[in-house]
């Protein structure tokens, strides 16, 4: 088990170092793809080992449980698709003069480093290490968001850095307070931030201090998850980042940040009672869902539309976490995986539309169905996934979330969420219909798709369909992870 955890971390680190030394080229790019696939393979291996328990490595610094495995699967699948598509994407950027060789080199170094930071965040047992890993993702992705070095890209980069730095500073204060509460409860100084130690001492933590720490942690990690009130960076950053990076940020990074809250909630609840974080999650979840639904009705940019859709789904995940039952946690984890794959397909397809039109304005993109069957089918399939329609998995996850909210006595929150989801549904369908349907405008450019991007799109759609038909062996993982993260 220790070997698998270390390999999952070191494989992307090795790819980053290799690219730093050798530069951007086909071999180093493929090495990055293999590193992401290695993360997925390690997740599969860990899935057979952890069972229903928790295993530790490196003296308790790393841990592996069902939630770890699920998050590694999300990182591995989305990472493999995004890095494979990156080969054709960056080659196209270089060919059209949107990037220079040094930009491609930096992209090749930072992308696997981004994967490594997220792997550490989901494998770490110490919340101090988790905080460092989440902060590292901010530093790394800041350079990726500003990849094109345009005025709008640099503006989005600084906005992202400032807002997320404030959010992560708030999370740091929460971490310090939780450490203080643990030390006052006689937790050993060297291990007071370990999740297993905090869980063992949770009932003895000072309720007032833990309540303050929990609120700060919710706000801080909620900022990285794109939740209200520090949500404003998300649309700008996702709209300016390269399409594969947008897929990684939307499909994985937001979920990785939220997974920290899933781990911390049982600890905070044991000290403060279940109502404190439930109320906080409901407030930020509904507020995020409201803002996303309203912005979807007025946005005229395809990548910003996809970013607001990510906000909508993170808001829904927060509301499910507020219910906190086993069904709710299992449903939100399925939702995370389905959303990650579907959103990757949409961002990769959207990136090709941006490349063809040199624009992300919805008004500039039309008649895609008559101009590129691959892009139109891929975008439509990703949209169906996102809208929660059968046979895809988000249909099942949203039904399960609705049921869990009703069972938890949160019917009023379910009613509000359903109304806002319906608004978002309508806006997404309307905007996407404008791009895909109808006759193309006179002089509309051709849409060419690099082989690696086309492969990633086909595999992504196939994976979404397979997950929708059956979760297969993942069902047991969802059940075990839900049992450990559910409200007692």
Q: Report pLDDT digits (tens) over 209-221.
A: 999 999 999 999 9
Residue count of the chain: 488
Is residue 254 very low, low, confident or very high in pLDDT (cuts 50, 70, 90)? Answer: very high
Q: What is the band of 81 on the pLDDT scale with cuts at 50, 70, 90?
A: very high
CA distances from 214 to 256, 278, 413 (A): 18, 11, 22
CA gap 218, 284 in Å, rounded? 9
Q: What is the 3-state secondary structure (H, E, C) of 182-225?
A: HHHCCCCHHHCCEHHHHHHHHHHCCHHHHHHHHHHHHHHHHHHC
Domain span at residue 321 reads 2-485
pLDDT for the residue 328: 92
Closest to 319 measured CA to CA, from 294, 296, 286: 286
**Could you give the count of Cα atoms lying within 13 Å of 377 in the half-sphere of its Cβ?**
10
Residue 485's pLDDT is 62
Q: How far apart are CA 106 and CA 457, in angstroms?
A: 25
**Which pLDDT does position 225 carry in this prediction?**
92
pLDDT at 390 over 60: yes
- In three-state secondary structure terms, 57 is strand
- Give per-residue pLDDT as tens, 308-344: 999 999 999 999 999 989 999 999 999 999 999 999 9
Q: What is the DSSP letter of 231?
A: -
C-alpha span between 281 and 146 (Å, rounded): 31
Give buried/exposed letters for 39-54 (b at 16+ CB in 10 A, else e): bbbbbebbbeebeeeb
Percent of the chain with pLDDT over 90: 65
The tokens of 36 are what? 């992401």
pLDDT of 207 higher than 60: yes
- The pLDDT assigned to 238 comes to 85
Q: What's the confidence (pLDDT) of residue 280? A: 94
Average pLDDT of the segment spanning 82-102: 87
Q: How confident is the model at residue 404 (pLDDT cuts 50, 70, 90)?
A: very high
**For residue 445, pLDDT beyond 90:** no
Distance CA 434, CA 437 (A): 6
DSSP state of 309: H
Helix (H) or strand (E) holding 457: helix 451-469
What average pLDDT does the structure give for the chain? 91
Q: Could you give the CA distance from residue 334 to residue 342 in angstroms, rounded to a whole number?
A: 12
Which residue, chain included where needed, has tokens 């992504």? Answer: 460
Tell me the C-alpha distance between 312 and 293, whole Å.
7
pLDDT for 134:
95
Q: Is 439 helix (H, G, I), strand (E, B) or coil?
A: coil
Averaged pLDDT for residues 413-442: 89
d(CA 52, CA 14): 31
Q: Phi-psi category of 388—alpha, beta or left, where left has phi over 0 and alpha has psi -120 to 50? A: left
d(CA 45, CA 4): 7
pLDDT class of 359 with cuts at 50, 70, 90? confident
Tell me, yes or no, if the pTM score tops 0.75: yes
Average pLDDT estimate for 257-285: 93
pLDDT of amino acid 229: 87
Work out the pLDDT band at 186, boundaries 50, 70, 90. Answer: confident
User: What total of structural domains would you count in the chain?
Assistant: 1
């Amino acid at each position: 088990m220790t070997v698998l955890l270390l390999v999952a971390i070191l494989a992307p680190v090795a790819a980053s170092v290799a690219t730093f030394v050798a530069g951007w080229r086909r071999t180093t790019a493929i090495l990055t793809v293999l590193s992401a696939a290695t993360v997925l393979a390690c997740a599969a291996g860990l899935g057979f080992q952890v069972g229903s328990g928790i295993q530790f490595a490196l003296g308790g610094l790393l841990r592996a449980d069902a939630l770890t495995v699920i998050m590694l699967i999300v990182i591995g699948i989305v990472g493999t698709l995004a890095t494979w598509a990156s080969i054709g994407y960056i080659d196209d950027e270089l060919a059209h003069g949107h990037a220079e060789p040094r930009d491609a080199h930096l992209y090749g170094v930072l992308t696997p480093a981004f994967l490594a930071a997220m792997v550490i965040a989901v494998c770490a047992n110490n919340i101090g290490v988790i905080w460092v890993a989440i902060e590292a993702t901010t530093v790394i992705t800041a350079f990726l968001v500003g990849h094109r070095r345009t005025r709008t890209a640099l503006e989005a980069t600084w906005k992202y850095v400032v807002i997320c730095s404030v959010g992560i500073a708030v999370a740091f204060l929460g971490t310090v307070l939780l450490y203080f509460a643990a030390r006052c409860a006689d937790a050993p100084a060297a291990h007071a931030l370990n999740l297993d130690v905090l869980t063992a001492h949770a009932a003895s933590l000072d309720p007032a201090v833990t309540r303050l720490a929990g609120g700060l942690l919710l706000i801080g990690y909620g900022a990285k998850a794109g939740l209200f009130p520090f949500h404003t960076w998300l649309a700008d950053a996702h709209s300016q980042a390269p399409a594969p990076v947008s897929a990684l940020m939307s499909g994985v990074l937001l979920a990785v940040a939220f997974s920290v809250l899933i781990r911390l909630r049982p600890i905070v609840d044991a000290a403060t009672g279940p109502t404190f974080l439930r109320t906080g999650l409901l407030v930020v979840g509904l507020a995020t869902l409201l803002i996303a639904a309203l912005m979807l009705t007025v946005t005229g940019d395809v990548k910003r539309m996809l970013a607001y859709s990510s906000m909508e789904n993170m808001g829904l995940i927060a509301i499910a976490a507020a219910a906190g039952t086993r069904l709710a946690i299992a449903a939100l984890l399925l939702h995370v995986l389905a959303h990650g794959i579907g959103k990757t397909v949409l961002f990769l397809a959207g990136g090709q539309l941006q490349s063809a039109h040199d624009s992300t304005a919805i008004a500039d993109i039309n008649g895609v169905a008559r101009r590129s069957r691959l892009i139109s089918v891929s975008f439509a399939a990703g949209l169906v996934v996102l809208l929660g329609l059968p046979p895809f998995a988000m249909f099942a996850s949203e039904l399960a979330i609705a049921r869990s909210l009703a069972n938890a006595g949160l019917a009023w929150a379910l009613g509000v969420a359903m109304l806002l989801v319906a608004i978002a549904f309508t806006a997404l369908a309307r905007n996407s219909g404008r791009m895909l349907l109808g006759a193309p405008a006179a002089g509309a450019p051709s849409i060419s798709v690099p082989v690696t991007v086309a492969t990633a799109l086909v595999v992504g759609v196939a994976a979404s369909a397979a997950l929708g038909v059956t979760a297969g062996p993942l069902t047991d993982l969802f059940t075990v992870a839900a049992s450990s993260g559910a409200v007692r």
